[in-house]
């Protein structure tokens, strides 16, 4: 995966809480999309770009991956 994270939109510094809305990553890299209801103070469907999922055990050609389920709260 050589694609760099980023985007032209608003940047969020620090930890942000979201709720998983989509786990069907078209690249099958285990990424997720999340809803950020706190961004505008409502439960509106403000959805992120595809976001990577951090893992606790990973390295070159090894590791584990646990993709959260839709509705899970994530950081």
- What would the mean pLDDT of 56-60 be, rounded to a whole number? 81
The pLDDT confidence band at residue 72, using thresholds 50, 70 and 90, is very high
Look at residues 24, 43, 40, 42 and name the one whose alpha carbon lies nearest to residue 32. Answer: 24
- Within 10 angstroms of residue 3's Cβ, the number of other Cβ atoms is 10
C-alpha R_g of the chain: 13
pTM over 0.85: no
Model confidence over 1-53: pLDDT tens digits?
555 555 556 677 888 889 999 999 999 999 999 998 877 666 566 788 999 99
Tokens of 43: 């439960």
Look at residues 45, 37, 28, 14 and name the one whose alpha carbon lies nearest to residue 53. Answer: 28
CB contact set of 73 (below 8 Å; sequence gap of 6+): 17, 18, 19, 20
């Amino acid at each position: 995966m050589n694609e760099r994270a980023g985007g032209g939109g608003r940047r969020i510094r620090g930890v942000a809480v979201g709720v998983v809305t989509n786990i069907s990553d078209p690249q099958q890299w285990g990424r997720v999309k999340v809803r950020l209801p706190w961004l505008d103070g409502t439960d509106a469907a403000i959805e992120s770009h595809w976001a990577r999922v951090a893992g606790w055990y990973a390295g070159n050609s090894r590791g584990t991956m646990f993709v959260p389920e839709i509705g899970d709260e994530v950081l």
